[in-house]
Amino acid sequence: MGARALILPGGESTTISKGLVRHELVKPIQEFAGAGGAILGTCAGAILLSRISRNHPVPTLGLIDVEAERNAYGTQLDSFVAPADKDCGDSWSGMDCVFIRAPRLSEPGPDVEVHVRVDGEPVLVREGRCWACTFHPELTDDLRVHEALLAC
C-alpha cells in the first residue's frame, strides 16, 4: 500500500460523489479501507463515509455505520464554531469545532465509537480506522484529529 492515510475533505458531497464514480475511485477507496488504510472524512467527506445520507441523499462509500443528514444546521450563513462537550474526555478537551453547512450524524451502529460530541450530538466518530468528522479540523491549529488518524 503506497499511502498510510487518506483524507476525504469537505466541500460538496454531491460533486465529490460524482467525481468518485466518474474517476472509478469507489472500489479502490473501499479496498484501501478493507486493507487497513486509515481514512478521515471531514464534513462532506464524513457524509461520503457514512452508511447512508439523508436530505438530498448521495451514494456513499458505506465505511462507517452511521447516518448523515446533510446541511442539518442550516445554510452557509449559519456556520458556527462550538466547543467540544466537556464530558468528551481528556483527549479532546477544549477543542473548538468549526461547522460549515455541516451534516448531523445519528444512529451510530454498535462498532462505532463516538469521540467528540457538541451539544450532545456526535461530531467525531470512528469505526475501525475510518473517522468521520462533521467539523473542519484543518481550519484551526489544533492537530488532534489528524494526529489521531495517523496514530490509529
> Would you count residue 13 as binding ligand GLN (CB under 6 A)?
yes
Site for ligand GLN in 98-127 (CB under 6 A): 100-101
Please say which residue, 108 or 137, places its beta carbon nearer to ligand GLN: 137
The yes-or-no answer on residue 136 being catalytic is yes
At closest approach, how far in Å is the CB of 100 from ligand GLN?
Answer: 4
Phi-psi bin for 147: left (phi > 0), alpha (psi -120 to 50), beta?
Answer: alpha
Binding-site residue total for ligand GLN (CB under 6 A)?
11
CA atoms within 13 A on the CB side of 86: 0
Q: Which three cell numbers stand for residue 51?
A: 452508511
- Give me the residues that bind ligand GLN (CB under 6 A), please: 10-13, 43-44, 47, 70-71, 100-101
